[in-house]
Amino acid sequence: MSQTVEMTAELPGTFYTRESPGSEPYVSVGATVSVGDTVGLIEVMKMFNPVVSTVAGTVVEVCVEAEDSVDVGDVLLRVEVS
Amino acid sequence: MADISRLLVISRGEIAVRTIRAATELGITTVAAYSSADQDSLAVTLADESVNIGGAHAKKSYLNHEAILTAARETEADGIHPGYGFLSESADFARKVEEAGVTWVGPSADTISRMGDKATAIKTAEAAGVRVVPGSGGLVTDIASARIAADQIGYPMMIKATAGGGGRGIRIARDEAELVEGFAAATQEAAASFGDGGVYLERLVDSARHIEVQVLGDGTRAVHFYERDCSLQRRRQKVWEEAPAEILPASVRSAMCADAVDLAESVRYCGAGTVEFLYDPATEEYFFIEMNTRIQVEHPITEEVCGVDLIRGMLLVAQGHPLPYRQEEIAIRGHAIEVRINSEDPEADFRPAPGTIESLRWPAGPGVRIDTMAYEGYTIPPFYDSLIGKLIVWAESRELALARLRRALAETELTGPATTLPFVARLLDQDEVIANEFHTTWIENWLEEEAR
């Protein structure tokens, strides 16, 4: 049986789905992620902090829009653990 | 240029508060433009009115031209004060404000674009007779021409790869032997790393001081308010500023200030601005580096030693009034120091530390000024820069100002997020700081040595 894990923001700030406006998104729905993969960035006071996956699996939902503000505990994405 | 009766304040944080205070004292109705993350800000509380200009992310609010121009229309603002940061040095936005028939409190769009681009600013400075960092100008292609250029520039100098940048592709030559050796190596290295062997030469200003002159112009005449020493920096961010720069010989001070006024008048400067110089204490030479066409964070120390109100001055000249101060009336009295209080954790490599201020006690008493947006219960949002306040002290001498700063820091109590207050207190204990013997990379060297 598969299990879905929520990845939440550990910092408050602005969420980014890609490294720079010209680059590909780190992940999108259907992508497979491994433990340690960067799945997004959170900008806190002009410092960019990577959001790192703690699980391996498949992204089933990206819950926030790029450049949305997020608070600690907000769900960023849902991953179906493989 | 017309009278301002309703001023839209489009900055945030402490400078928005500072601007609202000056405008209120002039009898101007203030409207605070705020993002959704700033609805509980002190600026919104203190302003007569407020208007939401968009989401937390600055691109959606404080950098959003259309949202701000719409807010100006809807609130019937006839003036816009940009503070510092965000759109304060955007020629494009200043032009749109002018075209909307709203008074822009700052230099014209043309002046901003002329002084905002570094290469153009350097040319303008040279044309006004202000010395810039000596260099070869263009590429140097062989050692013979490098030698000729070097005679003009003087040692030590940098051999810089034209395709380099961000500190890469730079070699230092302290004499002719090093130039000969370094030139060949630098050309080869540049070709190998950047695919372009072009190099140029520029004087290295070692252990420099960052000294800047405050000016105010009315479009015809300009006056200066002497200088500030902003050499205590961490990663090129100013940490601690003083006025005056006590290390400057009187003759250098008057030449530097006269240069700043000449430069401002040569571009018919209207508004407050800062002319920045690198100063080499060993040779007593100074070189223009850039001009900031806005009010600066550290303006209060100038206000304290000169007894003036620079934001009021900006508001007056923007409305077409002549300069409110005559040069011969402007004098320095005593010494002022400003320290920046950032919500960063000095124990964790200055990591940003947004959060809620649980308790707060500011210092008070003689010679103490606090410019801040912080209050008890205020939640510092994570979306903007980390400056939450500035502690400014004034006293009759530098020595007394240091003692007053020590006293004021001891009175200050802030609980909640980590701040740079303990870091500032440690700086105050360093012999070099007390003796006024530091330069622009001194803090980094000190922190590196401590970490060892």
What's the CATH fold of domain B143-203? Dna Ligase; domain 1 (3.30.1490)
DSSP annotation of B135: B
DSSP annotation of B321: P
Residue B352 and residue A45: Cβ atoms within 8 Å? yes
What's the CATH fold of domain B209-451? D-amino Acid Aminotransferase; Chain A, domain 1 (3.30.470)
| Domain region containing A73 | 3-81
Give per-residue pLDDT as tens, A12-66. Answer: 999 999 988 888 999 999 999 999 999 999 999 988 999 999 999 999 999 998 8
Residue B155: C-alpha distances to residues A19, B118, B140, B201 (Å): 42, 24, 16, 10
Cα distance between residue B229 and residue B242, in whole Å: 5
Task: Write down the number of H helices and E strands in chain B.
Answer: 15, 22
Residue B165: band (very low, low, confident or very high) from pLDDT cuts 50, 70, 90: low
Cα distance between residue B3 and residue B23, in whole Å: 12
Residue A11 and residue B386: Cβ atoms within 8 Å? no
Residue B162: C-alpha distances to residues B119, B158, B176 (Å): 14, 12, 21
Q: Smallest Cα–Cα separation from B392: which of B361, B416, B363, B432?
A: B363
Spell out which chain A residues touch chain B, with contact meaning CB-CB distance below 8 angstroms: 11-14, 43-47, 67-69
**End-to-end alpha carbon distance in chain A:** 9
Please report where in the chains the tokens 């304040």 appear, as a residue. B9
The reported pLDDT for the residue numbered B205 is 87
The reported pLDDT for the residue numbered B426 is 97
The CA distance from B81 to the nearest CA of chain A, in Å, is 23
Cα distance between residue B29 and residue B27, in whole Å: 7
| For A15, nearest residue in chain B (alpha carbons) | B57
Beta strands in B154-284 (DSSP E): 157-165, 168-173, 199-203, 209-218, 222-234, 237-243, 270-280
- Exposed/middle/buried for A55, CB within 10 Å: 0-12, 13-18, 19+? middle
The reported pLDDT for the residue numbered B395 is 98
Give per-residue pLDDT as tens, B102-119. Answer: 999 999 999 999 998 778
Which residue in the set B57, B343, B352 is minimally distant from A69, CB to CB?
A: B57
What mean pLDDT value characterizes chain B? 95
Residue B354 and residue A44: Cβ atoms within 8 Å? yes
| For B37, nearest residue in chain A (alpha carbons) | A69
- Residues of B with Cβ-Cβ distance to A68 under 8 angstroms: 57
- Residues of A with Cβ-Cβ distance to B351 under 8 angstroms: 47
What is the C-alpha radius of gyration for chain A, rounded to an integer number of angstroms?
12
B413 forms bridges with which residues in the sheet? B361
Count other C-beta atoms under 10 Å from residue B332's C-beta: 16
Q: Smallest Cα–Cα separation from B413: which of B363, B352, B354?
A: B363
The CA distance from B69 to the nearest CA of chain A, in Å, is 23
The CA distance from A81 to the nearest CA of chain B, in Å, is 31
The H-or-E segment that residue B265 falls in is helix B250-266
Give per-residue pLDDT as tens, B214-260. Answer: 999 999 999 999 999 999 999 889 999 999 999 999 999 999 999 99
The H-or-E segment that residue B415 falls in is strand B413-415
The CA distance from A72 to the nearest CA of chain B, in Å, is 11
| For B342, nearest residue in chain A (alpha carbons) | A45
Written as one string, the DSSP assignment of chain A is --EEEEEE-SS-EEEESBSSTTSPBS--TT-EE-TT-EEEEEEETTEEEEEE-SS-EEEEEE-S-TT-EE-TT-EEEEEEE-
State whether residue B57 sits within 8 Å of chain A by CB: yes
Whether this model's ipTM surpasses 0.95 comes out as: no
Question: In the predicted model, is pLDDT for residue B323 greater than 70?
Answer: yes
What is the C-alpha radius of gyration for chain B, rounded to an integer number of angstroms?
23
Q: Which two tokens stand for residue B132?
A: 């810039």
Written as one string, the DSSP assignment of B1-26 is ----SEEEE---HHHHHHHHHHHHHT
Q: How many domains does chain A have?
A: 1
Residue A45 and residue B354: Cβ atoms within 8 Å? yes
Please list, residue by residue across B45-69, b when 16 or more beta carbons sit within 10 angstroms of its beta carbon and e when fewer do: ebbeebbbbbbbbbebbbbbeebbb
Instruction: Tell me the count of A-B CB pairs closer than 8 A.
Output: 38
Question: Domain B6-105, CATH 1.20.1440.230 — does that match?
Answer: no
State whether residue B422 sits within 8 Å of chain A by CB: no
What CATH number does the domain containing A72 carry?
2.40.50.100
Count other C-beta atoms under 10 Å from residue B254's C-beta: 13
Cα distance between residue B386 and residue B343, in whole Å: 5
| Cβ atoms of residues B215 and B224 within 8 Å | yes
Active site positions of B, annotated: 294
Going by C-beta distance under 8 Å and a sequence separation of 6 or more, which residues neighbour residue B420? B239, B340, B341, B342, B344, B346, B350
Strand pairing category for B79-81 and B103-104: parallel
Count other C-beta atoms under 10 Å from residue B191's C-beta: 15
Domain ranges of chain B: 6-105, 143-203, 209-451
- Residues of A with Cβ-Cβ distance to B381 under 8 angstroms: 12
The predicted model gives B299-323 an average pLDDT of 98
Q: Which two tokens stand for residue A38?
A: 């960067």
- Residues of A with Cβ-Cβ distance to B60 under 8 angstroms: 67
Residue A14 and residue B384: Cβ atoms within 8 Å? no
The predicted model gives B97-103 an average pLDDT of 97
